[in-house]
Amino acid sequence: MLNTTLQTAQSALHAGRLADAGRLFQDALRGNPRDFDALYGLGLVCLYAQQFEQAQQLFAETVRVDPLFADGFCVRGVALIRLGRYDEALVCFERALMIRPNSVDALANHATALLEMGKAERALPELERAVATDPRHFVSWHSRANTLVALNRPLEALECYARALEIDPANQLATENRDNALFQLGRLKRCPTGFMRTLFDGFSSHYDDTMVEKLQYRAHLHLRALADRVIPKPDGPIRILDLGCGTGLVGMAFREFAGGGPIDAVDLAPKMLEAAKARGIYRHLVLGDLENELFAPGPQYDLILAADTMIYLGDLSRTFAGVSRRLDARGHYLFAVESRDGEGWEQTPQNRFRHSQAYLRSEADLAGLEVVAIDPCTLRTEHNVPVGGFVVALRKPQAN
């Protein structure tokens, strides 16, 4: 029977009060360093707090106390996966399966470790066994879907994501991974938010060097030249909004143009916002999706900018409508896109989007925006080949 300290610690753990639970489990261990329940409980605290090294050490001690504790081997394996120590994790899951051969958690996590090691072919049969054993096991369906994506079988993956989301409809990771599979199949009208966040957070530390120096990226400079040509010289400060600001290249290009007025920015990648903040040029930096932020309560602007942003959106109707909502009368929207001939828009093999002049004009008209200019340009090079695009200026007309 558990003593009062351990009972209180477990209640705190179940309530999500990790600091309280950790302190109480540590109190119990001071009285008995090999207390099984305290070791396991403190290990769970560390696991939930993402202190994975401490967690795996505590779980290792737990299974020394009880070598037949299958769950202890399983959760130690989970912590080792998070540490990237996949071979050790596999050993833990195999020990768990020796003790409890039909453990769905051990099967699913063993397969997940194999997937992380690039061994999707070996992972799939284990996940099929797991979902057959427990058809309501979320991790098994989600991992099976991820494995099918890795095997380039996205249609089958969609069925598994659907099963996983039936079990846990609010799971953000499964939703994002399903959207990535839909995107891979060309079924979305824009890049998925999770895909973008992961891409640009990983890109943030070397974005400027890669884009400007190696790829000769110039969209922000084309926008500035376009602004100088089509926007009457302001007689005072103007308010600017930078959509998808990245590291702040556009803000730097337009700092002088603002005439001392505020420059705000939106981006969905936290590490990109950190880089932009370090430049010291923005008044407000908002972490969020630009389409949602344009329709949220907020100030009006004289100028809205988007350089390396619209290429990740196919259907621009919602963005144009939101821009029209947030522009003052006679305000301008300047942006860059990759260009295509003919009509409409298309997804590229590089997972971006191209837009035609006809499409841009049609959507601008639907949003109540006037086309001021659509100029051809080279946005950057890719494999030493110029990437053609348009820089576009739209204007919100004066209200009648």
**The pLDDT value given to residue 124:** 97
**CA-based nearest residue to 250, from 229, 226, 234:** 226
In which residue are the tokens 């096991």 written? 137
| Residues in the chain, pLDDT under 70 | 1-2, 400
Provide CB contacts within 8 A for 287, sequence distance 6+: 267, 268, 270, 273
Distance CA 347, CA 344 (A): 11
**The pLDDT value given to residue 60:** 97
* Farthest CA pair distance, the chain: 80
The alpha helices in 270-356, defined as continuous H runs, are 270-278, 290-294, 317-326
CA angle 292, 293, 296 (to 5 degrees): 95
If one counts every other C-beta atom within 10 angstroms of the C-beta of residue 189, the result is: 14
In which residue are the tokens 């089958």 written? 156
DSSP category for residue 205 = G
Distance CA 343, CA 347 (A): 13
Distance CA 141, CA 157 (A): 9
User: For the chain, which domains are there?
Assistant: 4-187 (1.25.40.10), 199-395 (3.40.50.150)
Four-CA torsion 243, 247, 253, 258, nearest 10 degrees: 60
Distance CA 177, CA 194 (A): 8
Beta carbons of 164 and 171 less than 8 angstroms apart: yes
> C-alpha 360: how far from its chain's center?
27
Structure tokens at 114: 């194999």
Question: What pairing do the DSSP bridges indicate for beta strands 285-287 and 345-347?
Answer: unpaired
What are the pLDDT digits (tens) for 21-45? 999 999 999 989 999 999 999 999 9
Structure tokens at 299: 């100030």
Q: Which amino acid is at 309?
A: T
Give SS3 for 370. strand
N-to-C CA span, the chain: 79
Distance CA 46, CA 60 (A): 13
In which residue are the tokens 């966040």 written? 197
**CA-based nearest residue to 54, from 31, 27, 28, 82:** 82
> C-alpha 364: how far from its chain's center?
29
**The pLDDT value given to residue 1:** 47
**CA-based nearest residue to 289, from 205, 223, 202, 191:** 191
Provide CB contacts within 8 A for 23, sequence distance 6+: none
DSSP category for residue 171 = -
Give SS3 for 17. coil
Distance CA 280, CA 253 (A): 13
Structure tokens at 97: 């399966």
Provide CB contacts within 8 A for 98, sequence distance 6+: none
Partner residues linked to 341 by β-bridges? none
Q: Which amino acid is at 227?
A: A
Structure tokens at 158: 């969609």
**The pLDDT value given to residue 400:** 65
In which residue are the tokens 């086309």 written? 371
Beta carbons of 331 and 368 less than 8 angstroms apart: no
